[in-house]
């Protein structure tokens, strides 16, 4: 429907041209040319400025042929603000509206088929019309967005926002128009008529409530069909037919299309059986006359229906009987969704059925319920198909990094495991590495499909693999040796914007690879799912190759500025020159930091001179080395001096975005485990967690950075990482959209503590069962270690072995934590968020609490359980006790373990006496159990003797180890048994009844 005034102006211009020629003036018409209209537009509406890449339009922008766009009646438009950001921070309001109103936004377009994406401003409920009919129905919520396809046959798009709910503004914030084809014919379309059980809810991808029409595209081949859901809440058949929704369908419906009618629930309130019958019959006849296939749907029932027989449950719902009558009379298919859904619910039972409905609503399905309904409907129809889309030809044997468009993260093999069944996930790429590099090899069948090889190992062994060749949405993707099957073949289908969807051969390209649930997080699992056009189903191919290593990395020698392996006068001369003119390279500056204090100064030169003059026999080994954040390499961040409390010349402020990062280049004298302590400030309320990696390896550690209370409050957060002798890189990448904390510096200190557990994506939390659970908060002597750490283990890993199966154990202990840092890092809060009445919380701390040199951990004993000093050990232990009691759980305090060093005068003795006593005092104050594990171990060790006790600790099992604190598997089992027997002997009921 083209703007009539534009045509009139064109005719007047032609008349004026003719008059000019008749007057004898030059005819300039031959020198003028009409350029084609652009094939795409991005409009930013409102008066609040224009986002980059958009065309700014405010309420006063009137249409002109020269401009090619604008409002037809700008006097009926109004500039307003909106709650989004960027292009979505402002909008225009349609003061007058209607489906066929003259108050439209008009855009000149060449004839063809277009995709239109609409984003509203602030609104309660708004519909979108174009070309004089509805296109999108009842978008709800601020900045709601949706997309539709529309044929343009008269050279102009006319679009407006109109009533979804009277009394609220109808606003438009942004509009994107993309030409899909010069042919204006829409692909075969599935049109939906329905009510609140069928319609769309927003946001489309995440709404809790959903109609089955909203989910329907998941079960349809969207390469072949598009789904247009015209259903609205509260609608009845006669109103759907007469008030605009059916008009839109009639305008476009054509042979090859389908028209589903699923309506009737509201007809019992707003209509009658005769009017309902007439409306269904009329719509069916009109759609059939257009050549479409009509399918009538007898609607599903309510939440409690399965408590009755199917016959009784459907009684009184006369509309379903009328649906079947009309279907029979008009010779069209009728899907008895009532019966299908009733049988499904009957098979899963009432408890599961209850989870398919909105809370306290027995009629409307939630997203899970809508998914079941959509699948039942889709499986009831045999849709015609066309040939699958062609793939893009790629250069054979080219290697790529494959980046997800939605998350910006890269396809990789989890943990870099070159083995059958290794999982595939997405992660931020820290350079090109074997685990995130892929090689494409043609199938050899000229069918557009490729094998995708992981470059792990020899690069020719493991292929991207669909688990067991399944076709269901959510099927996992991993790697596997060549099975010569369709499960390892993929097609790269061009999305038209330089990105590709990666279609699986097992579904004939219907399903595509994507992070599960469109995850944007590191570790998001990759699965196959029916292609629906989501950004998370599109990937960028970045040609890349592994870096060529020409020589082994040299070990850094402190003081060796010219890197010749010798400390002599030449290095001293270079040092003096560098102090005046600067160090030529970062490596030279690191070598000059002889005393490991994080900077190269005269003090380091003095040490080097003393060594060269043989005044000292060796360069001192590092104690605690410091590295300032502002001297590190960082991306998406700035150095600042705004917030007080930092100790370097400035501090690092990383951008508030996922993926902002900092890399510290550090040097250590020998290979080992190092306590890496970050001095940070986090004035926000949220955890600004970061993913850590060392030397570009595949292992990742997730370091929490909880709030410090203010941006001027700086605190330490530590983690134990493995470093190699010489230069190392420690990279921290923001794992939240808020970025990381502000950073002052990091320090390194060698330790005999075990390295932190590498990050494993947590499994979905399971609903709490009725059986009691023992939660354990503790340190490295309690922690559960993965098999790769064998023979090291903590006693918490084996506690369940000494209990019957009616009790569960959830070991949350973690290395390097004290009562203070475990609490500060939010780990106690996590437990308290899950623990329930009848559960238990075991607490063992003490070893790390006594570290006076480590502010993050230090929690000294104050000696008073009655009125603990703020920040003391007693102060923090009370947090655990009171937290458990508030939840109805039983706290059990456990005194800390002993090590082999607790051996004096030919026998084992108690250690950490003041911390053990504090545990007993707190337990007495609250009248709760305390297991004196320290004393139990003393008695047990003296019984078995030193030689046997020696086998309980890592020093006995790991070559070169001096660790006399942490346990072997043998020791951990023995200590776990001591704890379990103490529960029984102390009659800690009712838990004691479950000890074997």
pLDDT digit string (tens) for 630-644? 999 898 899 999 999
Question: 486: alpha, beta or left, given left = phi > 0 and alpha = psi -120 to 50?
Answer: alpha
| pLDDT of 952 higher than 90 | yes
Task: Write the CB contacts of 994 (distance below 8 Å, at least 6 apart in sequence).
Answer: 803, 804, 806, 807
How far is it, in rounded angstroms, from Cα 223 to Cα 213?
18
Q: What is the mean pLDDT of the segment spanning 284-296?
A: 94
Note the pLDDT of residue 498. Answer: 83
Cα dihedral sign for 639, 640, 641, 643?
negative
- DSSP 3-state of 10: helix
| pLDDT of 818 higher than 70 | yes
Annotated catalytic, 361?
Answer: yes
Q: How confident is the model at residue 221 (pLDDT cuts 50, 70, 90)?
A: confident
Q: What is the pLDDT of residues 716-740, one digit of tens each?
A: 888 889 998 888 899 999 999 999 9
Q: What is the mean pLDDT of the segment spanning 661-667?
A: 91
- 404, 519 in Cβ contact below 8 A? no
Radius of gyration of the chain (CA): 35
* DSSP-derived secondary structure letter, 347: H
| pLDDT of 386 higher than 90 | no
| pLDDT of 875 higher than 50 | yes
How far is it, in rounded angstroms, from Cα 846 to Cα 716?
19
| pLDDT of 387 higher than 50 | no
**Sequential DSSP letters for 231-294:** --TT--HHHHHHSSHHHHHHHH--TT-EEEEE--TTHHHHS-HHHHHHHHHHHHHHHHHTTPEE
* List 196, 519, 536, 850, catalytic entry: 196
Note the pLDDT of residue 477. Answer: 97
Per the listing, tokens 């319920």 go with 369
| pLDDT of 262 higher than 90 | yes
Q: What is the mean pLDDT of the segment spanning 748-777?
A: 73
Residues in the chain: 996
- 414, 479 in Cβ contact below 8 A? no
Which residue, 346, 341, 339, 334, is CA-closest to 373?
341
Provide, rounded to the nearest whole percent, the portion of the chain with pLDDT above 90: 55
Which residue, 205, 548, 233, 666, is CA-closest to 406?
205
In this predicted structure, which of 207-211, 768-772, 883-887, 968-972 has the lowest mean pLDDT? Answer: 768-772
| pLDDT of 916 higher than 80 | yes
Note the pLDDT of residue 25. Answer: 31
Note the pLDDT of residue 20. Answer: 34
Task: Write the CB contacts of 845 (distance below 8 Å, at least 6 apart in sequence).
Answer: 777, 778, 779, 817, 818, 819, 822, 859, 873, 876, 877, 896, 915
Q: How confident is the model at residue 552 (pLDDT cuts 50, 70, 90)?
A: very low
Angle of helix 969-985 relative to helix 933-944, nearest 10 degrees, comes to 120
Note the pLDDT of residue 497. Answer: 75
Annotated catalytic, 364?
Answer: yes
Q: Which tokens sit at 558?
A: 């402190």
Cα dihedral sign for 79, 82, 85, 87?
negative
In this predicted structure, which of 159-173, 384-398, 734-748 has the lowest mean pLDDT? Answer: 384-398
Q: What is the mean pLDDT of the segment spanning 336-353?
A: 88
Which residue, 483, 354, 358, 456, is CA-closest to 399?
456
Note the pLDDT of residue 555. Answer: 46
How far is it, in rounded angstroms, from Cα 339 to Cα 3?
50
Note the pLDDT of residue 679. Answer: 94
Q: What is the mean pLDDT of the segment spanning 456-481?
A: 91
Note the pLDDT of residue 8. Answer: 35
Q: What is the pLDDT of residues 242-255, one digit of tens each?
A: 999 999 999 999 98
Provide, rounded to the nearest whole percent, the portion of the chain with pLDDT above 70: 91
Q: How confident is the model at residue 478 (pLDDT cuts 50, 70, 90)?
A: very high
Q: Where are the alpha helices (DSSP H) in 331-445?
A: 337-354, 367-378
How far is it, in rounded angstroms, from Cα 502 to Cα 451?
11
Q: What is the mean pLDDT of the segment spanning 206-219?
A: 91
Q: How confident is the model at residue 850 (pLDDT cuts 50, 70, 90)?
A: confident
Q: What is the mean pLDDT of the segment spanning 268-294?
A: 94
Q: How confident is the model at residue 588 (pLDDT cuts 50, 70, 90)?
A: confident
- 529, 511 in Cβ contact below 8 A? yes
Q: Go through the domains of the chain in sequence order and give each one's CATH number.
A: 33-184 (2.60.120.430), 186-386 (3.40.50.1110), 398-543 (2.80.10.50), 569-612 (1.10.1330.10), 625-750 (2.60.120.260), 773-994 (3.40.50.1110)
| pLDDT of 299 higher than 50 | yes
How far is it, in rounded angstroms, from Cα 174 to Cα 88?
7
In this predicted structure, which of 198-212, 467-481, 523-537, 616-630 has the lowest mean pLDDT? Answer: 616-630
| pLDDT of 5 higher than 90 | no
Note the pLDDT of residue 147. Answer: 96
* List 154, 361, 633, 829, catalytic entry: 361
- 459, 453 in Cβ contact below 8 A? yes
Q: What is the pLDDT of residues 22-71, one digit of tens each?
A: 233 333 233 333 345 677 899 999 999 999 999 999 999 999 999 999 99
- DSSP 3-state of 376: helix
Mean pLDDT of the chain: 87
Given the DSSP bridges, would you call strands 475-481 and 526-530 parallel, antiparallel or unpaired? antiparallel
| pLDDT of 766 higher than 60 | no
Note the pLDDT of residue 183. Answer: 86
* List 364, 953, 966, 994, catalytic entry: 364
Question: 480: alpha, beta or left, given left = phi > 0 and alpha = psi -120 to 50?
Answer: beta
Strands (E), 655-714: 661-668, 672-681, 690-694, 701-703
Half-sphere exposure of 352 (CA within 13 A, CB side): 9
Note the pLDDT of residue 220. Answer: 84
C-alpha 48, offset from chain centre: 31
How far is it, in rounded angstroms, from Cα 198 to Cα 219?
15
Per the listing, tokens 């030279």 go with 588
Given the DSSP bridges, would you call strands 907-908 and 903-904 parallel, antiparallel or unpaired? antiparallel
| pLDDT of 762 higher than 80 | no
Task: Write the CB contacts of 132 (distance below 8 Å, at least 6 apart in sequence).
Answer: 1, 99, 100, 158
- 659, 734 in Cβ contact below 8 A? yes
Q: How confident is the model at residue 769 (pLDDT cuts 50, 70, 90)?
A: low
Note the pLDDT of residue 209. Answer: 93
In this predicted structure, which of 547-556, 647-656, 685-694 has the lowest mean pLDDT? Answer: 547-556
The pTM (predicted TM-score) of the whole model is 0.43
Tell the burial category of 118 from Cβ atoms under 10 Å away from its Cβ (0-12, 13-18, 19+).
buried
């Amino acid at each position: 429907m083209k703007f009539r005034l534009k045509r009139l102006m064109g005719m007047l211009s032609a008349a004026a041209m003719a008059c000019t020629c008749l007057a004898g003036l030059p005819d300039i018409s031959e020198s003028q040319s009409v350029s084609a209209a652009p094939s795409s537009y991005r409009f930013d509406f409102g008066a609040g400025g224009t986002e980059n890449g958009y065309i700014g339009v405010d309420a006063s922008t009137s249409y002109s042929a020269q401009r090619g766009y604008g409002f037809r009646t700008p006097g009926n438009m109004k500039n307003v603000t909106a709650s989004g950001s960027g292009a979505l921070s402002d909008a225009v309001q349609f003061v007058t509206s209607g489906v066929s109103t003259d108050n439209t936004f008009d855009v000149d377009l060449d004839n063809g088929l277009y995709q239109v994406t609409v984003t509203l401003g602030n609104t309660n409920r708004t519909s979108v019309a174009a070309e004089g009919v509805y296109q999108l129905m009842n978008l709800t919520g601020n900045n709601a967005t949706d997309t539709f396809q529309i044929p343009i046959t008269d050279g102009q798009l006319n679009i407006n926002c109109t009533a979804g709910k009277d009394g609220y503004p109808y606003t438009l914030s942004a509009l994107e128009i993309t030409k899909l084809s010069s042919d204006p014919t829409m692909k075969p379309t599935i049109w939906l008529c329905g009510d609140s059980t069928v319609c769309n809810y927003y946001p489309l991808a995440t709404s809790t409530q959903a109609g089955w029409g909203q989910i329907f595209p998941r079960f349809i081949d969207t390469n072949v069909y598009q789904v247009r859901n015209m259903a609205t809440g509260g609608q009845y058949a006669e109103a759907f037919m007469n008030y605009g929704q059916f008009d839109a369908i009639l305008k476009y419906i054509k042979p090859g299309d389908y028209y589903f009618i699923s309506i009737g629930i509201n007809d019992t309130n707003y209509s009658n059986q005769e009017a309902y019958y007439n409306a269904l019959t009329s719509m069916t006849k009109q759609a059939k006359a257009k050549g479409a296939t009509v399918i009538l749907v007898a609607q599903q029932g309510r939440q409690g229906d399965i408590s009755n027989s199917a016959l009784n449950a459907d009684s009184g719902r006369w509309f379903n009987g009328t649906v079947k009558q009309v279907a029979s009379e008009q010779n069209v298919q009728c899907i008895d969704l009532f019966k299908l859904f009733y049988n499904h619910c009957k098979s899963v039972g009432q408890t599961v059925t209850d989870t398919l409905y909105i809370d306290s609503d027995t009629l409307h399905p939630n997203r899970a319920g809508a998914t079941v309904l959509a699948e039942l409907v889709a499986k009831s129809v045999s849709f015609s198909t066309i040939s699958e889309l062609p793939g893009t030809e790629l250069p054979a044997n080219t290697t790529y990094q494959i980046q997800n468009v939605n998350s910006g993260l890269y396809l990789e093999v989890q943990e870099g495991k070159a083995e059958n069944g290794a999982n595939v996930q997405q992660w931020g790429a820290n350079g090109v590495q074997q685990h995130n590099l892929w090689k494409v090899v043609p199938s050899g069948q000229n069918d557009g499909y490729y094998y995708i090889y992981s470059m792990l190992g020899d690069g020719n062994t493991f292929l991207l693999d669909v688990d067991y060749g399944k076709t269901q949405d959510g099927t996992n993707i991993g790697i596997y040796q060549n099975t010569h099957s369709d499960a390892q073949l993929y097609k790269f289908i061009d999305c038209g914007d330089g990105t590709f969807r990666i279609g699986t051969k097992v579904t004939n390209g219907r399903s595509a690879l994507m992070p599960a649930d469109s995850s944007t997080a590191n570790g998001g699992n990759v699965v196959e799912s029916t292609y629906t056009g989501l950004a998370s189903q599109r990937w960028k191919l970045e040609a890349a190759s592994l870096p060529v290593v020409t020589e082994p990395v040299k070990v850094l020698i402190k003081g060796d500025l010219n890197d010749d392996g010798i400390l002599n006068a030449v290095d001293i001369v270079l040092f003096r020159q560098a102090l005046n003119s600067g160090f030529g390279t970062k490596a030279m500056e690191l070598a000059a930091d002889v005393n490991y204090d994080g900077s190269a100064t005269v003090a380091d030169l003095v040490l080097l001179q003393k060594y060269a003059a043989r005044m000292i026999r060796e360069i001192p080994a590092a104690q605690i080395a410091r590295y300032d954040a502002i001297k590190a390499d960082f991306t998406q961040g700035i150095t600042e001096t705004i917030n007080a409390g930092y100790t370097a010349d400035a501090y690092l402020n990383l951008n508030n975005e996922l993926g902002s990062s900092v890399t510290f280049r550090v040097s250590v004298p020998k290979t080992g485990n190092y306590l890496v302590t970050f001095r940070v400030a986090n004035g926000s309320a949220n955890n600004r967690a970061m993913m850590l990696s060392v030397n570009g390896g595949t292992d990742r550690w997730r370091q929490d950075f909880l709030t410090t209370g203010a941006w001027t409050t700086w605190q330490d957060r530590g983690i134990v990482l493995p470093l190699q002798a010489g230069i190392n890189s420690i990279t921290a990448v923001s794992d939240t959209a808020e970025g990381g904390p502000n950073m002052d510096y990091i320090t390194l200190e060698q330790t005999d503590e075990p390295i932190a557990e590498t990050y494993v994506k947590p499994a979905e939390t399971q609903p709490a069962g009725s059986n009691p659970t023992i939660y354990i908060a503790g340190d490295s002597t309690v922690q559960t270690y993965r098999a790769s750490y064998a023979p090291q283990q903590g006693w918490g890993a084996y506690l369940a072995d000494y209990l019957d199966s009616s009790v569960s154990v959830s070991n949350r202990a973690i290395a390097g934590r004290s009562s203070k840092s475990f609490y500060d890092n939010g780990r106690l809060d996590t437990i308290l968020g899950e623990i329930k009445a009848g559960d238990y919380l075991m607490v063992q701390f003490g070893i790390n609490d006594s570290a006076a040199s480590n502010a993050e951990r230090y929690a000294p004993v104050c000696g008073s359980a009655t009125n603990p000093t703020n920040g003391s050990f007693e102060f923090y232990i009370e947090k655990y006790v009171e937290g458990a009691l508030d939840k109805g759980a039983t706290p059990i305090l456990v005194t800390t373990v002993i090590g082999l060093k607790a051996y004096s005068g030919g026998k084992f003795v108690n250690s950490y006496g003041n911390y053990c006593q504090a545990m007993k005092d707190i337990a007495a104050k609250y009248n709760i159990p305390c297991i004196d594990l320290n004393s139990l171990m003393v008695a047990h060790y003296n019984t078995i003797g030193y030689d046997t006790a020696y086998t309980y600790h890592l020093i006995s099992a790991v070559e070169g180890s001096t660790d006399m604190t942490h346990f072997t598997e043998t020791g951990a089992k023995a200590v776990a048994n001591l704890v379990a027997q103490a529960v029984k002997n102390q009659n800690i009921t009712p838990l004691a009844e479950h000890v074997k």
